[in-house]
A and B are shown apart, each in its own frame.
Chain A
Amino acid sequence: MRLSTILLVYIAILIIGYFAGRQKAIAYSHALDAGRTMHSLPMYHGYYVLMWGAIPAIIAILGYFFMGDGLVLDRVIAGLPDEVRSLPESRLNLVLNDIRVVAAGAETSGESEAYIQSAADSLNAGREFLSLLLGLAVVALSSTGCYLAWRNLSGDFRARNRVESAIQVLLVMAASIAVLTTIGIVFSVLFESIRFFQKVPLFDFLFGLNWSPQTAIRSDQVGSSGSFGAVPLFLGTLMISGIAMIIALPIGLMVAIYLSEYTTARVRGVVKPLLEVLAGIPTVVYGYFAALTVAPLLRDFGLSAGLQISSESALGAGLVMGIMILPFVSSISDDVINSVPQSMRDGSLGLGATRSETIRRVVLPAALPGIVGGFLLAASRAIGETMIVVMAAGLAAKMTINPLEAVTTVTVQIVTLLVGDQEFDSPKTLAAFGLGLTLFIVTLILNIIALHVVRKYREQYD
C-alpha cells in the first residue's frame, strides 16, 4: 500500500472523528435545560476524539519509519547464503547496499550475483507486506481510538482540560527535541575528541606551537606522527576576531547611538532594517567580497605605502568579518540603549547636560552591561565564523602576530581536516573534533557570560 494513501485515509478518519465528537456534544447541548451550559465547547469534544484517533496511529507510523526497514533487512539477511552471511561487517554492508540498489530498480555495474537479485526481490516483497500491515494498523488504531473516545463523551465531559494537557505534552516534546539534539551534538563531539586526546596528549594540543597535521597521512611514512600544537590556530582565530571586533565595536556602537538618540523615528525605521539586512547576507558572499575586493585593495594600498601585504591576510579577513558582525553589535546595542528609561535622559537634560554628555555619562553607563553582552555574542559569532576566513585568510598555520600575513583559524582547520580522504580514525580527522570541542567550549562560555550579563541588566529596569 502506498504511504500517501495511508496518510490520506488516516486524515479522513481523523476528520470524521472530529465531526462525530462535535456532533455528539452538540446533541448533548441541545438536550440541556435552558440556562445551563456544558463544561466544554463542542469543538473541544471534537478535538478530544481527534486526539485519540491520532496518537496511537502516529506511534505506529513513527515505528514504521524508524524500525520497519531494519526488520525487513534482518529477514533478508537471514535468507542470504551462508558464505555471504559470514562475511565481515563492512563487506556485508557493501552487499546489503547492492541489494538495496537492485531493489530500487537501478542498474548495477556489471553482472550482479543471483543471490543479490533474489534478496532484492524478497526485500521488496517484505517492504510491500510491511506497508500493507502499516495501512491496516493505522486504520484500525485510528478508528478504534476515535470510537472509544467518542463513546466516552458525555454532557459534562471535561474535554477542554484533556485537550489542554495534550497540548502541554506536545509542547514539552517539541522542547525536548531541541534540548536532546543539543546534548547529542555535544556528546558526539565529546566522544570523538576523547579518542583524539587518547592519541595526542591534551597538553601538547593546547600548548604546542607547531601545527602540521598533514604529515600523518600513511603509517609507513616518515614523520608520520604529525604535530598537533593548536596555539598557532588559536592565535590566528584570536587575531582575526580581534580585528573584527576592533572594527565592529566602535562603529556598531556609534551606529546604535546615532539610531537611538539622534535620528527621527522615520529614519530609524528605514536604517535599522537595512542594517539588519547585512546580517542576512550569506557569509560566502562576504567571503567573495573579502577575497576579490578587499584583499586586492589592501595589497595595492600596501604597495603604495611600502608594506608587504599578502593577498590572503588576517587584516582583510578581519575587516570583512568586522562588517559582518557590525549589525549584531549595533542592533543589540540599539535595543539596550533604547531600553534605558527616558526618565534617565530627561533627568540629565533637565540639569542642563547636552545630548552627548547625557549619552556618555548616563545612557551608556546604564546600558553598559547589555552592550557588553551584545559584544560577547558578536565575539562568539566572529570566533565561529568559517567561510570568510577560508576564502580570505589562507590555510597556513603560521605562528605570527603580524596581521598582514596569511594565518589560519580553528574553524578553517576543521574544514580542511575533514575534507581530505583520510581514514576516519586517524589523528588528523579526529583532531577536527578536538578543535571543535575547544571552539564549542569557548563560545559556550562567552555565550553564558553574555546571557548572564544581559539578564542581570534587564532586571535592573523591569
Chain B
Amino acid sequence: MLKPMDTQYGFIGNRSHDPYVAGRDTLSKEEQDGECIFETVGEVTSPDPIISVRNCNVFYGDNQAINNVTLDVGRNEVISLIGPSGCGKSTFIRCLNRMNDTIEGARVEGDIRLDGEPIYAKEVDPVLLRARVGMVFQKPNPFPKSVYENVAYGARIHGLARSRAELDEIVFSSLERAGLYAEVKSRMDEPGTSLSGGQQQRLCIARTIAVNPEVILMDEPCSALDPIATAKIEDLIEELRQNFSIAIVTHSMQQAARVSQRTAYFHMGQLVEVGATDTVFTNPIHRLTEDYVTGRIG
C-alpha cells in the first residue's frame, strides 16, 4: 500500500536544487503559512522502530490539525518534536496512545503501529494501549491522593501487584527511577499536590513508569518548571532511555539538543524535517527548519 521509501520520501542526498532548502533567501507566503504541501525531508524511518506512523491525518471536526505525517520512533531512542505553537505537536503525540479518542470530534486517519501491531485496529483496547504507551503532561497533574497512592494508582488498576509488599516494591522502585525517592521517602502519606512543581512532575513520571510502559510520551514536561528542576528531568530522561522509548514535545531547542537523538520539526500540521538532532540544529535542510532553529520564526 505504501509507496517505496525512496520514491516517496526521496533521500536527502542531492536536494540542493530543491526550492525549499536552506540557504534560499525568501520563502513565499504560502510556504510560511503551510498552505502548500511539503515533502518531509530527512530520515523519517528508523532501523528499529517501536512506533511507526504512516500517512497520519488528524481532524478536529472539519479542521485538519495533522496533515499526512509519516514518522518512526526508534527503540530506546529519544525523539523530540519541535515547531511553532499550534503546529500540531501535541495532537500528534496524542495519536500515539489514542488520547485523541477522548476528545469529542477528533478523528485520526492513517496507519499507526506499536511493535508492528496497528493500534487503531478494531480489536485493540485503547485502555490497554495506554498502559503500554504512557504519557506525561505539560502541567504536573498529580491526583488528589497521597504520594504513595499516586504512584500505586496504575499498578492497582492493572492488578500488577498481588500483595502489599509487591506494591511497595513497585512504588518505591518507580520513585527511585524517577529520582524522587530520597526526597519523598518520609512524605509518602502527604498529598501529591503538596510537592513542589518539579517534584510533582517527577511524581507524574514515576506514576507513568510504575505501569511499565514501552513508550513514554512527554508533552512539554518542563514548561512549568525552573531551570534546576528542568535539568533534573532532563537527566532523568537520559536515564530512562535505557528502558523506554521516549517522544518529547518541547519548545526549548537547547532541551531538544540535550536530550534527544532525533528531532522532528513540525509546521502547520505537516512534518517538515526529521533527522539526527545535531544535523537538524546545525545543518538543517529545509529553509523553514532553519528559520525556526535560528529563531527567525516561532
Contact = CB atoms under 8 A, between A and B. Distances in A.
Given A352-B131, A352-B211, A365-B145, A347 B204 contact: yes
A366 B207 CA distance: 18
A336 to B, nearest CB: 13
Interface stretch (B43-51, B136-144, B267-275): B136-144
A366 B141 CA distance: 12
A259 to B, nearest CB: 14
Contacts, number: 69
Contacts of B99: 346, 349-350
A457 to B, nearest CB: 10
Interface in B198-216: 204, 207-208, 211
Contacts of B141: 341, 343-344, 346-347
A351 interface: yes
A351 B104 contact: no
Interface stretch (B12-20, B114-122, B150-158): B150-158
A351 B153 contact: yes
A451 B218 CA distance: 39
A362 interface: yes
A366 B158 contact: no
Contacts of A264: 104
A75 interface: no
A344 B137 contact: no
B127 interface: yes
Contact of A352 (B137, B139, B143, B154): B154
B102 interface: yes
Name, among B102, B104, B129, B207, the residue most crowded by chain A CB atoms within 10 Å (CB to CB).
B102
B57 interface: no
A346 B90 CA distance: 13
Interface string A210-254: 000000000000000000000000000000000000000000000
Interface in A332-361: 341, 343-354, 357, 361
B157 A350 contact: no
B154 A366 contact: no
Nearest to B204: A347
A362 to B, nearest CB: 5
B100 to A, nearest CB: 11
Interface string B98-135: 01001010000000000000000000000111111011
Given A351-B207, A352-B131, A357 B139 contact: no
B145 A348 contact: no
Contact of A361 (B128, B129, B153): B153
Contact of A351 (B102, B144, B145, B154): B154
Interface string B36-60: 0000000000000000000000000
A350 B104 contact: no
Contacts of A344: 141, 143-144
Interface in A193-224: none
Nearest to B207: A351
Contacts of B129: 352
Nearest to B156: A361
Given A365-B145, A366-B144, A351 B137 contact: no
A265 interface: yes
B97 interface: yes
Interface in A351-408: 351-354, 357, 361-362, 365-366
B134 A362 contact: no
B211 A351 contact: yes
Contacts of A347: 137, 141-143, 204, 207
Contacts of B134: 350-351
A353 B127 contact: yes
A198 to B, nearest CB: 52
Contacts of B137: 343, 346-347, 350
A351 B139 contact: no
Contacts of A345: 102
A361 B141 CA distance: 15
A262 to B, nearest CB: 11
A317 B119 CA distance: 54
A347 B150 CA distance: 10
A352 B207 contact: no
Interface string A447-462: 0000000000000100
Contacts of B208: 350-351
B153 A365 contact: no
Nearest to B143: A362
Contacts of B97: 350
A232 B144 CA distance: 43
Contacts of A348: 143, 153
A354 B141 CA distance: 18
Interface in A6-64: none
Nearest to B135: A350
Given A350-B134, A351-B134, A352-B127, A365 B144 contact: yes
A342 to B, nearest CB: 9
Nearest to B155: A351
A361 B156 CA distance: 11
Given A265-B104, A341-B141, 5 more contacts: A346-B99, A347-B141, A348-B143, A348-B153, A353-B127
State the 4 A-B residue pairs at the shortest beta-carbon distance, nearest first: A352-B131, A350-B135, A343-B141, A351-B154
23 contacts: A264-B104, A343-B137, A343-B139, A344-B141, A346-B135, A347-B137, A347-B141, A347-B142, A347-B143, A348-B153, A351-B157, A351-B207, A352-B127, A352-B154, A352-B157, A353-B153, A353-B154, A353-B157, A354-B127, A357-B157, A361-B157, A365-B143, A365-B144
Interface of A: 264-265, 341, 343-354, 357, 361-362, 365-366, 460
